[in-house]
Chains A and B, each alone.
Chain A
Amino acid sequence: MKENHFTGTSTYIATDDLKMAVNAAVTLERPILIKGEPGTGKTQLAAEVASSLGMPLLEWHIKSTTKAQQGLYEYDAVARLRDSQLGDERVNDISNYILRGKLWEAFEAERQVVLLIDEIDKADIEFPNDLLLELDRMEFFVYETKEIVRARHRPIIIITSNNEKELPDAFLRRCFFHYIRFPDRETMEQIVNVHFPKLKKNLLSEALNCFFKMRDVPGLKKKPSTSELLDWIKLLLAEDIPPEALHAENSRKAIPPLYGALLKNEQDVHLFERLVFLDRKSGGPR
Chain B
Amino acid sequence: MLIPFFFMLRDGGMKTSITELLVLLEAMKKGVAGHSVENFYYLARATLVKEESQLDKFDRIFGVYFKGLEDSLADLFEEIPDEWLRAQTELMLTDEERAQIEAMGGFEELMKALQERLAEQDERHEGGNKWIGTGGTSPFGAYGFNPEGIRMGQAGSRNRSAVKVWDKRQYRNLDDSLELGTRNIKVALRRLRKFAREGAADQLDLDDTIDKTARNGGMLDIRMIPEKHNAVKVLLCLDIGGSMDDHVRICEELFSAARSEFKHLEYFYFHNFIYESLWKDNRRRHSEKTSLLELTHKYSSDYKLVIVGDATMSPYEIVYAGGSVEHWNEEPGAVWIKRLLNTYPKAIWLNPEPRARWDYTPSIKMTRELMDDRMYPLSIAGLDEGIKSLR
Measured CB to CB, the residues of A under 8 A from B are: 1, 16-17, 20-21, 23-25, 27-28, 30, 32-33, 35, 75, 77-78, 80-81, 84-85, 91, 125, 165-169, 172-179, 181, 216, 218-219, 271, 274-275, 278, 282, 285
Contact = CB atoms under 8 A, between A and B. Distances in A.
A152 B165 CA distance: 39
A125 B183 contact: yes
Contact of B50 (A28, A77, A172, A218): A172
Nearest to B213: A81
Given A75-B215, A174-B19, A178-B46, 4 more contacts: A27-B32, A32-B46, A35-B52, A179-B52
Contact of B27 (A27, A33, A219): A27
A84 B89 CA distance: 70
A25 B33 CA distance: 12
Given A1-B32, A28-B26, A169-B15, A275 B50 contact: no
A80 B215 CA distance: 8
Given A17-B45, A285-B148, A77 B171 contact: no
Nearest to A25: B46
B22 to A, nearest CB: 11
B214 interface: yes
Interface stretch (B34-42, B133-141, B324-332, B354-362): B34-42
Interface string B214-226: 1101100000000
B342 interface: no
B32 A77 contact: no
Interface string B164-178: 010000110010000
A15 to B, nearest CB: 9
The 5 closest A-B pairs by CB, nearest first: A81-B214, A20-B42, A21-B46, A166-B183, A77-B214
A80 B147 CA distance: 68
Contact of B218 (A28, A81, A174, A175): A81
Interface of B: 15, 17, 19-20, 23, 26-27, 30-34, 38-39, 42-43, 45-47, 49-52, 55, 86-89, 92, 95, 98, 147-148, 150, 165, 170-171, 174, 181-184, 186-187, 210-211, 213-215, 217-218
A165 B52 contact: no
Contact of B89 (A28, A30, A166, A278): A278
B182 A166 contact: yes
B52 A17 contact: no
B49 A77 contact: no
A17 B20 contact: no
B46 A24 contact: yes
A165 B210 CA distance: 34
Q: Which of A33, A218, A278 has the most CB of B within 10 A?
A: A218
Contact of A20 (B46, B55, B89, B181): B46
Contacts of B23: 28, 30
Nearest to B38: A16
A280 to B, nearest CB: 12
B182 A165 contact: yes
A173 B20 contact: yes
Contacts of B170: 181
Contacts of A274: 89
B183 to A, nearest CB: 4
B211 A77 contact: yes
A284 to B, nearest CB: 12
Contacts of A173: 17, 19-20, 50
Nearest to A91: B217
B84 to A, nearest CB: 12
B92 A282 contact: yes
A97 B147 CA distance: 65
Contacts of A278: 89, 92
A17 B46 contact: yes
A85 B218 contact: yes
Given A20-B39, A20-B43, A91-B217, A28 B88 contact: no
B51 A172 contact: yes
Contacts of B86: 218
A63 to B, nearest CB: 15
Nearest to A174: B19
A75 B214 CA distance: 11
A39 B350 CA distance: 38
A184 to B, nearest CB: 9
Nearest to A171: B50
A165 B89 contact: no
B180 to A, nearest CB: 11
Contacts of A176: 46-47
A23 to B, nearest CB: 6
